């Protein structure tokens, strides 16, 4: 097949290719998360693959990319992505090798860019990087799948050859590949290393012994709105936060709080913030001022997991720190409150964006 014949055959197959609409447009300002793993699959168009083969031009994966029939999978190595609309930048390992008549062109280190008006897949060619494929998202769908339901999958994406890539291949092989030739269909399956919380609540079941001790001291606990008192305990709305998808390290802020009242003395502990790291703690704003006081968290028996886009931390033991005990003793004129006094068991259920 001559270069002109190849160009005509491929051009006829792509006359109706439409310009892509950016996935990012509806929710471009929403939070992004780092990408940990996943795969992007390129399903080569059978007609295009056949035309290339007839012209003596072969296409093969470069490891660790793998091929199965006309599908080639490229491992995702990183990047960031909006989990709700797939706007972002996703990097890959592996690549494609185009070969003909003893000449090979290697295209590696693919990067998918969907956070722009015209989404594109770029590739490294030697020391240069070129736009390889135009990404048409006009018919794309974004799904939430994968582990815990927090992965971002993008399906029904069409890919066509960019003019820059066509020029590079034509120069290498003496072909006449037209810009816009349909290369195939792309689907992306990205799993995040971090999740963003958009709601849910933390429930604190007050320790019965401590509640009785406070009552004996004349101190009455109550809930501060929008916190609520429920059968399971005091519930405080989650207002945001980020967590590591594997270790759950991160921060979870809340609204509402607890008021401790004795006579005319009222101490408000509100806007709780859970910090999960090497030394987990729960801090609370004291009244309306800038001061915060820490409460101790014990996660040694806690159970964590993400399922159906809900991050759960169950069985967290909450107790007074020395700092908190001293502050409360001074406020109420008592000495009975001590470091380590159990406040209750907390269960966190955060909705994942």
The answer for residues whose C-beta is within 8 angstroms of residue 305's C-beta and 6 or more apart is 148, 311, 312
For the chain, percent of residues with pLDDT exceeding 90:
86
- Please report, for the chain, the start and end positions of each structural domain, with discontinuous segments joined by +: 3-192, 195-352
How confident is residue 19, by pLDDT bands cut at 50, 70 and 90? very low
Name the residue with tokens 């003395």. 265
| Residue 20 confidence (pLDDT) above 70 | no
| Residue 353 confidence (pLDDT) above 90 | yes
Q: How far is Cα 107 from Cα 120, in angstroms, rounded to an integer?
A: 15
Q: How far is Cα 162 from Cα 120, in angstroms, rounded to an integer?
A: 9
Per-residue model confidence as pLDDT tens digits over 175-196: 888 999 999 999 999 999 999 9
How confident is residue 31, by pLDDT bands cut at 50, 70 and 90? confident
Q: How far is Cα 59 from Cα 39, in angstroms, rounded to an integer?
A: 19
Q: How far is Cα 307 from Cα 223, in angstroms, rounded to an integer?
A: 29
Q: Which pLDDT belongs to residue 10?
A: 53
Helices (H) and strands (E) in the chain, counts: 5, 25
Per-residue model confidence as pLDDT tens digits over 290-334: 999 999 999 999 999 999 999 999 999 999 999 999 999 999 999
| Residue 67 confidence (pLDDT) above 70 | yes
Q: Which pLDDT belongs to residue 240?
A: 97
Q: What is the mean pLDDT of residues 19-47?
A: 75
Q: How far is Cα 215 from Cα 80, in angstroms, rounded to an integer?
A: 51
Per-residue model confidence as pLDDT tens digits over 229-284: 999 999 999 999 999 999 999 999 999 999 999 999 999 999 999 999 989 999 99
Q: Which pLDDT belongs to residue 13?
A: 43
How confident is residue 12, by pLDDT bands cut at 50, 70 and 90? very low
How confident is residue 30, by pLDDT bands cut at 50, 70 and 90? low
Tell me the two tokens of residue 152: 């971002």
pTM: 0.87
Per-residue model confidence as pLDDT tens digits over 49-61: 998 888 889 999 9
Q: Which pLDDT belongs to residue 184?
A: 97
Q: Which pLDDT belongs to residue 55?
A: 81
Contact 47, 316 (CB under 8 A): no
HSE (side-chain half, CA atoms, 13 Å) at 138: 8
Beta bridge partners of 292: 285
Average model confidence (pLDDT) for the chain? 92
For the chain, percent of residues with pLDDT exceeding 70:
92
| Residue 24 confidence (pLDDT) above 60 | no
Beta bridge partners of 258: 223, 269
Q: How do 103-113 and 95-100 pair as beta strands?
A: antiparallel
| Residue 99 confidence (pLDDT) above 60 | yes
| Number of CB atoms found within 10 A of residue 73's CB | 20
């Amino acid at each position: 097949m001559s270069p002109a014949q190849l160009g005509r055959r491929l051009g006829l197959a792509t006359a109706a290719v439409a310009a892509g609409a950016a996935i990012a447009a509806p929710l471009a300002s929403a939070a992004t998360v780092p990408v940990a793993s996943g795969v992007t699959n390129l399903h080569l168009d059978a007609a295009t693959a056949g035309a290339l083969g007839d012209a003596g031009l072969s296409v093969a994966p470069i490891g660790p990319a793998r091929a199965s029939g006309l599908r080639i999978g490229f491992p995702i190595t990183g990047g960031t992505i909006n989990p709700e609309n797939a706007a972002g930048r996703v990097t890959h390992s592996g690549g494609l090798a185009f070969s003909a008549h003893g000449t090979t062109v290697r295209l590696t280190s693919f990067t998918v860019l969907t956070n722009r008006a015209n989404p594109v897949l770029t590739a490294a060619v030697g020391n240069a990087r070129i736009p390889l494929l135009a990404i048409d998202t006009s018919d794309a769908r974004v799904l939430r799948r994968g582990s815990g339901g927090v992965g971002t999958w993008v399906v029904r994406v069409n890919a066509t050859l960019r003019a820059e890539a066509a020029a590079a291949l034509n120069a290498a092989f003496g072909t006449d590949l037209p810009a816009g030739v349909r290369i195939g269909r792309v689907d992306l399956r990205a799993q995040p290393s971090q999740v963003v919380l958009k709601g849910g609540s933390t429930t604190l079941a007050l320790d019965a012994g401590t509640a009785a001790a406070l009552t004996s001291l004349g101190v009455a606990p109550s809930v501060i709105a929008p916190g609520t008192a429920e059968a399971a305990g005091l519930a405080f709305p989650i207002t945001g936060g980020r967590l590591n998808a594997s270790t759950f390290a991160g921060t979870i802020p809340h609204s509402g709080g607890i008021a401790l009242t004795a006579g005319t003395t009222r101490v408000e502990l509100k806007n709780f913030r859970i910090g999960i790291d090497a030394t987990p703690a729960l801090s609370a704003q004291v009244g309306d001022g800038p001061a915060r006081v820490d409460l101790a968290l014990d996660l040694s028996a806690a159970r964590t997991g993400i399922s159906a886009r809900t991050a759960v931390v169950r069985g967290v033991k909450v107790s007074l720190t020395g700092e908190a005990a001293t502050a409360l003793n001074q406020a109420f004129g008592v000495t009975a409150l001590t470091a380590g006094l159990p406040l209750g068991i907390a269960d966190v259920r955060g909705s994942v964006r």
